[in-house]
Amino acid sequence: MRKELYKVKQFCRNFVLGLKKTSWIMDRNMTEDIQHSNLTFKEVLRSRKSCRGFLDTPVTEDIITSVLDDAKLAPSNCNTQPWETHIISGNKLRELSEALVRENKAGRFSPDFTFDVDDYHGQYKERYFNLGQTMYEAFDIKREDKEGRKEISDRNYTFFNAPHVAIPFMPSFGDNVRVGGDIGMYGQTFLLSLTAHGLAGIPQTSLGFFAGTIREILNVPEEFKMLFGISFGYADPNSPGNSFKLGREPITSNITFHQ
């Protein structure tokens, strides 16, 4: 009797394990099917750029899930994986946009971390100015047109028409520097996966200026902090905001080899 019972238990155990294995294979194959891009890793790196104009076409849930499955593989200190990511779409995205536009107009900022472009100096400030000049020229906005420049900047709060926004919230540990580094690596992995899936995105520090407002809208506990958000979707090929790509300094200017 005991021997027969043992055989039944073993059969049930092997059956369940077989189901789990089959499910894993199916999930992996579904992800591989979605990964339709034929770009090499270098091509993905060189194709990625910040998108400042999206089509309103929503991305399917399967593709978003596939991107998130890639992003979760980002490295982190002690494998803590400190990201708590919220994906906002549809009516909730419109509600969030309306709140951000309202708070921005009223000047009611609620950041978790300080940020001031006036702190930039030397070559870093030059690169910042080059971004502004290149972007405003693409939109045909003159330097003296302060209202026009502000209108372009304020498009951050309508997410450049993107149908989705990802916000990786983070717990607070110590001075938060290492957690912030983890979130940065997660964000980069997310952005590269978007490119590999034929999508586009833009990391937005400006959304972090209203961390308190965003937490309130999304019902996120105060203990989770926010650095940036990522608007994403399909790039609008006719948007002036997508007509340029910023360069990078050669490695000879910022790399030191030691032997």
Q: Which of 116, 100, 97 is nearest to 108 (CA)?
A: 100
At 222, give phi and psi (nearest 5°): -60, -25
Query: What's the burial of 251, exposed, middle or buried (CB within 10 Å: 0-12/13-18/19+)?
Result: exposed
Average pLDDT on 212-225 reads 98
Q: What are phi and psi of 229, to 5 degrees?
A: -125, 165
Mean pLDDT of 63-91: 98
Q: For the chain, how big is the Rg over CA atoms in Å?
A: 22
Report the alpha-carbon angle 62-68-72, nearest 5. Answer: 150
Lowest mean pLDDT across 25-39, 89-103, 158-172, 180-194: 25-39
- Residue in the block written with tokens 């309306």: 98
- Residue 179's pLDDT is what? 97
The answer, yes or no, to whether residue 31 has pLDDT greater than 70, is no
Determine contact, residues 127/133, Cβ cutoff 8 Å: no
- Please say whether the beta carbons of 240 and 53 come within 8 A: yes
Q: What is the rounded average pLDDT for all residues in the chain?
A: 89
pLDDT at 38: 86
Tracing tokens 């593709």 back to the chain, one arrives at 63
The label of the residue with tokens 């494998």 reads 79
Rounded Cα distance, 71 and 65, in Å: 10
Q: How confident is the model at residue 190 (pLDDT cuts 50, 70, 90)?
A: very high
Nearest-CA neighbor of 155 among 212, 76, 221, 236?
Answer: 236
- Is pLDDT of 29 > 50? no
Whole-prediction pTM value?
0.85
